[in-house]
Amino acid sequence: MISDTVKKRLTKDRPMTSITLRIPVDVVESMKVIAPCKGFSGYQPLLKSYISEGLRRDEAQFALSKEAKLIAALKKLGVPDSIIEEAAREVA
């Protein structure tokens, strides 16, 4: 099941904003070399890809963190593991 956040990110007409980043010249030069090797037209699409990958990883980590906290709270309240596992299967 695709989350609403992911669905929104897949739409082509999302609002965009411009930002300014100060990045060391050697880092930009490295990205210019790596970009075509990874199939990107330039360093900016590569940089966007790196940002997206990191963001997805962190979103997954924090979502799992919330799930782990919920499970810990349920266990503390005495909910049996079998019930928690059954609920997790239904959600997945």
Structure confidence at residue 3 (pLDDT): 64
Contact (CB, 8 A) for 8 and 14: yes
46, 38 in Cβ contact below 8 A? yes
CA angle 6, 83, 61 (to 5 degrees): 30
Tracing tokens 């010249």 back to the chain, one arrives at 25
pTM of the model: 0.62
> Mean pLDDT, the chain, as a whole number?
88
- Give the model's pLDDT for residue 66: 80
Res 6: pLDDT: 67
Q: For residue 84, what are the contacts with CB-CB under 8 A and spacing of at least 6?
A: 71, 74, 75
Q: What is the pLDDT of residues 21-52, one digit of tens each?
A: 999 999 999 999 999 999 999 999 999 999 99
Q: Where do the structural domains in the chain lie, given as residue ranges?
A: 19-91
